[in-house]
Amino acid sequence: MDDIILIHLSKDTLKQTTLDVIRFLQNLSWRLSPNKRVLILKMTFQYLGWQFQTEEERCRINQKHGSK
């Protein structure tokens, strides 16, 4: 497993949940790279060829991936 995406309407809840997940994984002796963490609010992001629009609660496949 490489990626974990957390989405929540409340920025405070999202921050706390992120810290809880990091702590949980560290307790399992997982090594986490602080350089690879993205802890910023994004309303639109792409992941595995899908475009997520969190404000509009929409997800759509990227045209390049959809035509294959």
Report pLDDT digits (tens) over 41-62. 667 877 778 788 876 767 778 7
Please list, in sequence order, all residues whose beta carbon lies within 8 angstroms of the beta carbon of residue 22, skipping any fewer than 6 positions away.
32
- pLDDT 10s digits, 27-40: 999 888 877 766 66
Find out whether 60 and 48 touch, Cβ atoms under 8 Å. no
Q: Quote the longest CA-to-CA distance of the chain.
A: 42
Percent of all residues in the chain with a pLDDT value above 70, rounded to a whole number: 75
Q: Which two tokens stand for residue 3?
A: 């990626």
- Where does the chain show beta strands of DSSP type E? 44-47, 50-53, 58-61
